[in-house]
Amino acid sequence: MPEAIPPTERTRVVREAHRGAYDRETIYKILDEAYVCHAGFAIDGQPFVIPTLFARVGDAIYFHGSAASRMLRNVGEGISVCVTVTLTDGFVLARSVFNHSMNYRSVVALGKATIVDAPEEKLEALSQPNEKELKATSILRLPLTEVSAKIRSGPVEDDAPDYALPVWAGVIPLALTPGAPIRDERCDPAIRTPAYAAQYRR
């Protein structure tokens, strides 16, 4: 498998092209850190963008939902999709409003998602569901064959004359971090909090 994914006319970063990244290591690292993707598709000319949990397994991403959902019914039939993922790393506050920005890492993946029918693959994606849950849940697989990343990092970039302005400028870092687990009120207090919850790390 090549280390880079050749950009297409649809995935090549045009604006701020120097921020584009096409290597699998960068793209997969962003996907593996994120929790939520937005899946975009169109039905009868009406666009929809739906947030959903997802996971990368190998060279594909999997997302799931109710078997009765409009998104999964139609996407499973072969409607083209655009899946996006964004990590926000900081607010970049410049001396002028025009130069305010954000540090971020994002991925855009295009293609056609297919319903996962193989029981073994579906079980792997869902992680130990029961038979009722299997029937009620659809899993879709989108190969990462047409995909790119775009990244902005670093300090403020002001226009030269603005550096003399008596205005604070800098970066406010942002990060998504897990907090302490909150026990369900109907959970037996004698059951210890498991390590995967108490010490959760992405």
Q: Which two tokens stand for residue 18?
A: 């120097």
Q: The domain spanning residue 49 has which CATH number?
A: 2.30.110.10
pLDDT at 78: 74
Q: What is the mean pLDDT of residues 90-113?
A: 96
Domain count, the chain: 1
Model confidence pLDDT, tens digit, residues 108-158: 999 999 888 777 776 666 665 566 666 667 788 999 999 999 999 999 999
**Arithmetic mean of pLDDT over the chain:** 89
pLDDT at 132: 64
Least confident stretch, 130-139, 164-173, 183-192: 130-139
182 found inside a domain: no
Banded pLDDT at 60 (limits 50, 70, 90): very high
The residue type found at 186 is R
Q: Contact at 8 Å (CB) between 49 and 80?
A: no
Q: Which two tokens stand for residue 193?
A: 């909090």
Higher local confidence (pLDDT), 20 or 126: 20
Distance of alpha carbon 126 from alpha carbon 122, whole angstroms: 6
Distance of alpha carbon 49 from alpha carbon 37, whole angstroms: 10
Q: What is the mean pLDDT of residues 186-192?
A: 96
199 found inside a domain: no
Determine the number of helices (DSSP H) and then strands (DSSP E) in the chain: 5, 10
189 found inside a domain: no
61 found inside a domain: yes
Distances (CA, A) of 15 to 9, 82, 155, 158: 13, 19, 19, 18
Range of the domain at 64: 17-172
pLDDT at 12: 96
Banded pLDDT at 64 (limits 50, 70, 90): confident
Q: Please name the residue that has the structure tokens 């540090």.
A: 103
Q: What is the mean pLDDT of residues 65-81?
A: 71
pLDDT at 68 over 70: no
pLDDT at 97: 93
pLDDT at 127: 63
Dihedral through CA 176, CA 7, CA 17, CA 98, nearest 10?
A: -50
Q: Contact at 8 Å (CB) between 131 and 119?
A: no
Distance of alpha carbon 31 from alpha carbon 149, whole angstroms: 10
Q: Which two tokens stand for residue 138?
A: 């659809």
pLDDT at 117: 76
Q: What is the mean pLDDT of residues 3-25?
A: 94
Least confident stretch, 67-71, 100-104, 143-147, 149-153: 67-71
